[in-house]
């Protein structure tokens, strides 16, 4: 059993952190940029560290790096060399690790908590296009091309030895197949894969969520599958579907239910407040054991989620 599997097995429920980009924006960062949260790696990395600090204090058992939209392609478009891009990717891991160590080494170290782990965010190909493709999944690439696209960033992030890879917001079956192939080459590195869905049955692409979960089942180091950046109203049904198919852990970290406007680079259709503690109980009852939040969620939401994990 891998150390990460032992970490998961030591707790009935593991709590992730919440939204990073939206939290940076809430604190004054200007993210009207194709790099989105990765822009802050360039402009104000200290602010990213502060957000990580707050999520660990709020109760996160796993902190996620600010590398979701930090791809070699996206950074090259902004004039950064491959060497500069690699350094930013490695910095994203160091920022969350430093925040974890500050939290854990402080005199206020909490009782009944495991030392938090570090997840390296592997954003989907669509995120680097900065046109909302992660909410459509309409790629014009082959599986082998997606494998080749993901590999350099994955290998660079692994140089900083994160505890787990978080392959996030995957919108289509083809990218799931590409990640299954790629992650199968790194059997000693645990990973989770979470999908972006348009309802309680389908990926953003319209393909069956069940097919995507099935595509990952035979990759042993994919330790968890689930959903993220999906409306909370769909999470219970999606979790139940995954529970019927997989023996892996189920991870869920929805957004607040709003819709991303790629042209304005803003969230719209504000939703009613969600009781994250109560919602977490519903998701847990459906079969999820790794719970967190995505876009527009805050440290307070994670605090409530942890408080209701019971």
Per-position DSSP letters for 151-198, written without gaps between them: HHHHHHHHTT--SEEEEEEE-SHHHHHHHHHHHTT-TTS-EEEEE-BS
Task: Give the confidence band of 198 by pLDDT, cuts at 50, 70, 90.
Answer: very high
User: 84: burial class by Cβ within 10 Å (0-12, 13-18, 19+)?
Assistant: middle
pLDDT tens for 90-138 read: 999 999 999 999 999 986 767 778 999 999 999 999 888 877 777 787 7
The Cα–Cα gap between 236 and 69 comes to 27
Taking a C-beta distance cutoff of 8 angstroms, is the pair 172, 205 a contact?
A: yes
Angle (CA) 57 285 251, round 5°: 55
In a domain, residue 160? The reply is: yes
Among 159, 145, 37, 39, residue whose Cα is nearest residue 97: 159
Could you tell me the pTM of the whole model? 0.93
Q: What is the mean pLDDT of the chain?
A: 90
Q: 212: how many CB neighbours lie within 10 A of its CB?
A: 28
Average pLDDT for 22-33: 84
Q: What's the confidence (pLDDT) of residue 31?
A: 76
In a domain, residue 109? The reply is: no
Q: What's the confidence (pLDDT) of residue 211?
A: 98
What's the domain count of the chain? Answer: 1
In a domain, residue 110? The reply is: no
β pairing state of 259-261 and 249-253: unpaired
Task: Give the confidence band of 263 by pLDDT, cuts at 50, 70, 90.
Answer: low
Backbone CA torsion sign across 181, 184, 186, 192: positive
Taking a C-beta distance cutoff of 8 angstroms, is the pair 195, 220 a contact?
A: no
Q: Which two tokens stand for residue 164?
A: 């787990």
Domain enclosing residue 27, as ranges:
3-104+115-307
Q: What's the confidence (pLDDT) of residue 261?
A: 43
The Cα–Cα gap between 31 and 39 comes to 7
Residue 71: what are its φ and ψ, rounded to 5°? -100, 160
E strands within the chain?
A: 14-15, 62-64, 117-123, 164-170, 191-195, 222-228, 249-253, 259-261, 266-268, 290-291
The Cα–Cα gap between 306 and 310 comes to 8
In a domain, residue 274? The reply is: yes
Q: Assess whether pLDDT exceeds 80 at residue 177.
A: yes
CATH of the domain at 136: 3.20.20.330
Task: Give the confidence band of 259 by pLDDT, cuts at 50, 70, 90.
Answer: low
Q: Assess whether pLDDT exceeds 50 at residue 260.
A: no
Angle (CA) 167 149 297, round 5°: 30
């Amino acid at each position: 059993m891998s150390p990460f599997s032992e970490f998961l097995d030591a707790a009935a429920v593991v709590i992730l952190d919440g939204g990073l980009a939206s939290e940076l924006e809430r604190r004054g960062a200007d993210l009207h940029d194709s790099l989105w949260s990765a822009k802050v790696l360039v402009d104000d990395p200290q602010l990213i560290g502060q957000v990580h600090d707050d999520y660990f204090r709020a109760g996160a058992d796993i902190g996620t790096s600010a590398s979701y939209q930090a791809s070699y392609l996206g950074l090259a478009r902004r004039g950064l060399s491959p060497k500069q891009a690699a350094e930013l990717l490695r910095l994203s891991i160091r920022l969350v690790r430093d925040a974890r160590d500050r939290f854990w080494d402080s005199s206020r170290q909490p009782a009944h908590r495991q030392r938090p782990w570090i997840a390296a965010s592997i954003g989907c190909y669509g995120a680097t296009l900065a046109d909302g493709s992660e909410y459509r999944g309409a790629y014009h690439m082959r599986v082998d091309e997606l494998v080749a696209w993901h590999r350099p960033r994955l290998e660079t992030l692994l140089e900083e030895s994160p505890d787990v890879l978080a392959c996030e917001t995957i919108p289509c079956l083809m990218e799931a197949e590409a990640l299954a192939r790629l992650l199968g080459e790194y059997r000693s590195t645990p990973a989770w894969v979470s999908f972006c869905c348009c309802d309680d049955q389908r990926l953003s692409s319209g393909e069956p969520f069940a097919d995507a979960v099935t595509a990952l089942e035979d990759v042993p180091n994919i330790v968890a599958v689930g959903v993220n950046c999906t409306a909370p109203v769909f999470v219970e049904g999606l979790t139940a579907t995954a529970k019927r198919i997989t023996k892996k852990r189920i991870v869920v970290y929805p957004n607040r239910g709003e819709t991303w406007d790629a042209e304005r680079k803003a969230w719209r259709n504000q939703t009613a407040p969600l009781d994250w503690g109560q919602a977490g109980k519903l998701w847990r009852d459906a079969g999820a054991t790794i719970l967190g939040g995505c876009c527009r969620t805050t440290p307070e939401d994670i605090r409530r989620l942890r408080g209701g994990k019971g």
